[in-house]
Amino acid sequence: MVEFISVTKRWGSFTAVDDVSLKIRAGEFLTLLGPSGCGKTTMLRMISGFEHPTSGRVLLDGRDVTGDPPYRREVNQVFQSYALFPHLTVRENIEFGLKMKKVERDELRRRVDEAVRIVALAEYQRRRPHQLSGGQRQRVALARAIVNRPKVLLLDEPLSALDASLRHTMQIELKRLQAKLGITFVFVTHDQEEALTMSDRIAVINHGRVEQIDSVQDIYHRPRTRFVAEFIGKANVIDAAIVGGGVENVRVNVEAGLELDVCRDGAAVRGDRVRVAVRPEKINVTAHRPAGVNAFEVTVEEELFRGAIDELCVRTAGGTELTVLVANEGRMEAAVHRGDRVWCQIHPEDAVLIED
C-alpha cells in the first residue's frame, strides 16, 4: 500500500532518514518503532506529505506521490496532540475533511453519523474540544480521520498523552477498530510494549535506518541485530566464537568449557566472532543437570523477587553473566536463592545469532 524506494531525507548535514526502502502491505497494522530522534516521525510525515524526500520515491497504492502536497494524498493522520480545531464542535471537526472534499450533504451526514457511532461520541457532538477528556479527544481525532476512509491511517504517537490505564483501553480499541475497518494503519511509537501489543508487523528504526521489519513474533523471538534485541524486551547478548556448524545450528564457544548450539536462521555470519541473543525467560533453570544439549551450571549472584516471576543474575564458571527470568510456579521451598548453584539450559531455537 505504501512503498519507500531508497528514501533519504536530510536537513543540512543531518540525515534523518537514510536510504530506506520499505513496503507496507494493504490492511496491515504496521508500527514504526524506535527511540526519539530515530527518524520514524519523519518517515510518517513523508507518507502524509508534510515532508518531501531529499532523494528516493514514495508510492501510495502504486502511485508515485513523492511531490504531492498533503491535501492531494488519500491518507489521514491522527496527531500526537490530536490537533482538534478548537473553534469547531466535535461534529464540525469530524465533518471538516468531507466538507473539503465537497461530499454531498446526505452522504456527509450518513458518514459522520457512522464515524460518531464507531467512536461512541454521539452525545458529545455539540461540544467543543476543550470540553472533552483526553480519551474523548483521542476518539474525535480518530473519527475525524477515518470518516474520510483513507487508504492509510497514520498515527503519530497518539496514545502518549493518555494515562496508563486509558492507554491500555485505547490500544485494544484501536486494534479492534483497525480489524473492523480494514484500513492500513501506520503507527509511530517509541513504546515497545505498545508496538508488540498492537502491531501485525513492526519496523524497528534506528539512526534513520530500518534495523528490521518483521512480524511481532519474529521481531521478538528472532531479532536480527543487537539493537533490536535490546530495544525490544530484554536480552542476554553473549560474545562467542564459531567452532562448528550443522544445517540448522552452528556450534559456538562462549568460554572455556562452555559451548552452545545456536539456531542459524539465515543470519549472515562473517568471520568466527559472533554475538548470540537469548531472552531471559528462555533460559530454563533446574536444580539438577537436565538432559539434552546447551546445559551448564551457574551460581546465583542476585535474586530479585518480582511476584509472579523471579529475576536472577547468574554467573557461569567462566564468568559470563546472564539474566534469567523464572516463573514462581513451584512450591515455595523450591525457590532459588542467592549463592545456590543451579543448572541452566537454552534450547538451540531460542538462541539467535545477531549482527551488531
Interface with another protein by CB under 8 A: which residues?
48-50, 69-71, 75-77, 79-81, 83-87, 96-97, 100-101, 144-145, 148
Query: Closest separation between CB of residue 192 and another protein, Å?
Result: 25
Query: Closest separation between CB of residue 116 and another protein, Å?
Result: 16
Query: Closest separation between CB of residue 77 and another protein, Å?
Result: 5
Closest to another protein by CB, 81 or 169? 81
Measured CA to CA, the distance from residue 268 to residue 161 in angstroms comes to 41
Joined together, the cell numbers standing for residue 322 give: 546472564
- How far is the CA of 349 from the CAs of 141, 199, 217, 279, 339, in angstroms? 43, 24, 14, 11, 29
Query: Closest separation between CB of residue 16 and another protein, Å?
Result: 17
Closest to another protein by CB, 148 or 236? 148
Joined together, the cell numbers standing for residue 350 give: 531460542
Coil, strand, or helix at residue 200? coil
Pairing mode, strands 273-278 and 321-327: unpaired
Residue-by-residue DSSP string for 88-157:
S-HHHHHHHHHHHTT--HHHHHHHHHHHHHHTT-GGGTTS-GGGS-HHHHHHHHHHHHHTT--SEEEEES
Closest to another protein by CB, 100 or 120? 100
Query: Closest separation between CB of residue 186 and another protein, Å?
Result: 13
Joined together, the cell numbers standing for residue 134 give: 483526553
Query: Closest separation between CB of residue 19 and another protein, Å?
Result: 26
Closest to another protein by CB, 129 or 223? 129
Contact call for residues 284 and 322 (beta carbons, < 8 A): no
- How far is the CA of 250 from the CAs of 62, 274, 322, 333, in angstroms? 42, 11, 21, 38
Closest to another protein by CB, 141 or 204? 141
Closest to another protein by CB, 144 or 282? 144
Joined together, the cell numbers standing for residue 251 give: 556450534
